Amino acid sequence: MSATTYAGVEVRLNDEGFFEDPTVWTPEMAVEMARADGITELTDQHWTVLDFMRKEFFEKGTGPTVRVLGKASGVSVKDLYQLFPKGPAKMAARLAGIPKPKGCI
Amino acid sequence: MTKRIVILGGGTGGTLTANRLHRHFRHHRSEHQPVEIVVVDQDNHHVYQPGLLFVPFGLAHQQEIVRPRHEQLHHDIEFVEAGIDRVDLQRDTVVLETGRELAYDVLVVATGTTLALDETEGLTGPGWNEKVFTFYDLAGATALEAALADFQGGRLVVNVVDMPIKCPVAPLEFCFLADWYFTERGIRDQVHITYATPLDGAFTKPVASAALGSLLEEKGIHMVTEFNTGEVSMDDVGGAGKLIGYDGREVPFELAVVVPLHNGAAYIGRSEGLGDDLNFVPTDQRTLQAKAKSNVFALGDATNVPTSKAGSVTHFEGEVLVDNIVRYLDHEPLDDSYDGHANCFIETGFGKALLIDFNYETEPLPGHFPAAVGMPLLKESRMNHLGKLMFQWVYWHALLQGRDIPGIGADMPRRGKNQPQTTEKETTR
C-alpha cells in the first residue's frame, strides 16, 4: 500500500496502483492520472467508459470485464483498446478509482 | 394439487437434478404434495463433454461419448424435445418455440453455455474447419481429428479468446496432449506449440498457475499471456494465418485451435429479467437461487457464480440445489452451504494427469485428495490419469443418476492440502 496525491488530495493506493477507497475519487483525479499514462485529453467516449465502470462497481461490487464493457458500455471492444491501450478493463478501472476487476475462474 | 418443476436443459445439471428430485419425492411421498418433473432440451443428444478433449487425438469417438438424453432420465420424468423461446417470469411460464406453454411452480435453469463463434472477427471465415478449429463441440472436435492426423509440422496455436469458458483447464490439457501426440508420431521437433491466453499466467489462481506454467515450459510449449484475440486472419497464399490481438500483437499459425467466447443460452436474453449482459443467470453463490425470482434456481455453466464452469461443480451444486427446491416448496429457509467446490483432473499426456481441488475461498493447492492419503494434488501421476478415464463410467452410472459418489462430497475437504505460506492473490487481467 502507498499514498499519493491526485488533484491536491492524498489518496491511498494498493500495491498495483488501484484506489483503496473508491469513494474518494473525483473526475479531476482521473484527468491527472490519464495524463501521467499518456492520455492528454479524456474524450466523451473515455468518460462514457469511466462512468459505466463506476456504475457497475457500485451496483455489482466488481468492475466489468472487457467483454461486458464491449457489450454494455456503448463502446466497442476495438474502440476500448484505442481509448485505453494498456488494457481497457484494468486501465479504465484504475482511472475510475475502482479495484481491479476480478478475473474469471 | 400437483406441483410442477420444469428443468431447462437435459445436460449434466438438468439430468442429475431431475433424477435427484425424482428420488427424493419418491422416497418422501407421504410428506409432500405430488410433484411432476419436466425436462426440456432442444435435442436428444447428451454429450459427455470431458470426452471432447480426447476426440481430436483419436482417443475417443462420437459413439462412445453421446447417448440419448431421455435414456438418462428416470422413466417417470417427462422429457420434452423443443427449443425454448423465452421464460415469462411474471406468469411463471416457459414458452417453447413450438408455441406450447409450460407453467411451473419451480424453474431450474441448466442450459449451460453457447459458443459465440460469430463474436470474434474472422473466426468462422476462410480457413474455418480447415486451418482453424475448436474442440468445444462434437463437430469441431471430430473435424480436428483429421486435421491433426494430416499435420506434418509447423506452428500450432491453442488460443482462449476470453473468459469465462467451460473447463478452464481443457485448453492446457489440449497443449499437453498435442505434445504427447506429436512425440508419439516422431515429429514433435517439427511442431512449435504456442498457448495464447487472455490471463496473465497459465491459470486463474497463483499456485496452480505457477505449477501449470512450469509444466508448459518443461514440455517446450511457448506461452503468450494477456493476449486478447481481436481477429483471426488467413493469409492469401500459403495456408498460414494469424491471430491478431486488440493490442496489435500477432501470433502466426499453420493450425489454430481456438476456444471461442461463451455466452449463456440465447433464450435467456429474450427472457426479461432473467440473465446478465452475457446471458448468464445471476445466482446466489451459496443457495443457487436465481436473483430474478424466488421460484427460479440455476446450476452449472448457466450461472454467474464465481467458480469454474465444470461438471464437478455442477455435480456438487446439485446436492444443495435439490435440497433447496424441497425447502422452497416446504416454505423453509434455504440451505446456504454450497462452497464453490470444484475438482478437476488435468490430463498431461504420456498416461499421466494432475488433480486439482478448490472452492470459493481455497485455491488449488498441492497435497492429497480427499485426505492426507489419497490421490496426489497438483502433481502428475498415473493414478490421476486412470481416475480421469474411469470417471466416464462414474458419470453415466452414478453422477447423472443423482447418486452420491463415495469419498467425493459437495463440501471441499481441507485435510490433505498443503497451505501456502503467502496470502492468496487473485490472478486478474
Domain ranges of chain A: 2-95
Give the Cα separation of B363 and B357 in Å (integer): 8
Enter the C-alpha cell of residue B268: 435467456
Q: Which residue of A has its CA nearest to B120?
A: A77
**Residue B365 falls inside a structural domain:** no
Query: Which CATH number characterizes residue B254's domain?
Result: 3.50.50.60
Per-residue CA distances from B155 to A9, B39, B178, B191, B428 (Å) = 52, 44, 12, 6, 28
**Residue B302 falls inside a structural domain:** yes
Q: Is B270 on the interface with A (CB under 8 A)?
A: no
> Are residues B110 and B37 part of one domain?
yes
**Residue B83 falls inside a structural domain:** yes
Final residue in a domain of this structure, among B312, B329, B346: B329
The predicted structure's pLDDT at residue A62: 85
Match 500477432 to its residue by C-alpha cell.
B250
Question: From first to last of its 429 residues, what are the pLDDT tens digits of chain B?
Answer: 899 999 999 999 999 999 999 999 999 988 888 999 999 999 999 999 999 999 999 999 999 999 999 999 999 999 999 999 999 999 999 999 999 999 999 999 999 999 999 999 999 999 999 999 999 999 999 999 999 999 999 999 999 999 999 999 999 999 999 999 999 999 999 999 999 999 989 998 889 999 999 999 999 999 999 999 999 999 988 889 999 999 899 999 999 999 999 999 999 999 999 999 999 999 999 999 999 999 999 999 999 999 999 999 999 999 999 999 999 999 999 999 999 999 999 999 999 999 999 999 999 999 999 988 889 999 999 999 999 899 999 999 999 998 887 778 888 998 889 877 654 444 444
Residues of B in Cβ contact (< 8 Å) with A103: 163, 199, 204, 426-429
The predicted structure's pLDDT at residue B94: 98
Which of A56, A68, A86, A104 would you mutate first to test chain B, the one with the most B CBs within 10 A?
A: A104
**Residue B393 falls inside a structural domain:** no
Confidence of residue A94 (pLDDT cuts 50, 70, 90): very high
Q: Determine contact, residues B224/B250, Cβ cutoff 8 Å.
A: no
Please give the tally of structural domains in chain B: 2
Q: Where are the beta strands (DSSP E) in B97-199?
A: 101-103, 106-109, 113-115, 132-133, 154-160, 191-196
Residue in A71, A87, A102 closest to B277 by CB: A71
**Residue B54 falls inside a structural domain:** yes
Residue in B164, B228, B246 closest to A104 by CB: B164
Q: Is B339 on the interface with A (CB under 8 A)?
A: no
Residue A4 in this model has a pLDDT that exceeds 60: yes
**Residue B225 falls inside a structural domain:** yes
Confidence of residue A103 (pLDDT cuts 50, 70, 90): low
Confidence of residue A84 (pLDDT cuts 50, 70, 90): very high
The predicted structure's pLDDT at residue B26: 93
Catalytic residue (one of A1, A3, A36, A104):
A104
- Note the pLDDT tens digit of each residue in A23-73: 999 999 999 999 999 999 999 999 999 999 999 999 988 889 888 899 899
> Are residues B251 and B196 part of one domain?
yes
Chain A residues whose C-beta is within 8 A of a chain B C-beta are: 65-68, 71-72, 77-78, 80-81, 85, 87, 89-90, 100-105
The predicted structure's pLDDT at residue A86: 79
> Are residues B90 and B225 part of one domain?
no
Residue in B246, B426, B429 closest to A90 by CB: B429
Rounded to the nearest integer, the mean pLDDT of chain A is 90
> Are residues B181 and B89 part of one domain?
no
Q: Provide the number of CB pairs (under 8 Å) joining chain A to chain B.
A: 55
Architecture of domain A2-95: Orthogonal Bundle (1.10)
Give the predicted TM-score (pTM) of the model.
0.93
Mean pLDDT, to the nearest integer, of A13-32? Answer: 93
Among B214, B220, B213, residue whose Cα is nearest residue B192: B220
> Are residues B257 and B267 part of one domain?
no
**Residue B427 falls inside a structural domain:** no
**Residue ranges making up the domain that contains B162:** 117-261
> Are residues B177 and B43 part of one domain?
no
Give the Cα separation of B114 and B345 in Å (integer): 23
**Residue B391 falls inside a structural domain:** no
> Are residues B199 and B108 part of one domain?
no
Catalytic residue check, A104: yes
Q: Determine contact, residues B3/B33, Cβ cutoff 8 Å.
A: yes
Query: ipTM score of the complex?
Result: 0.82
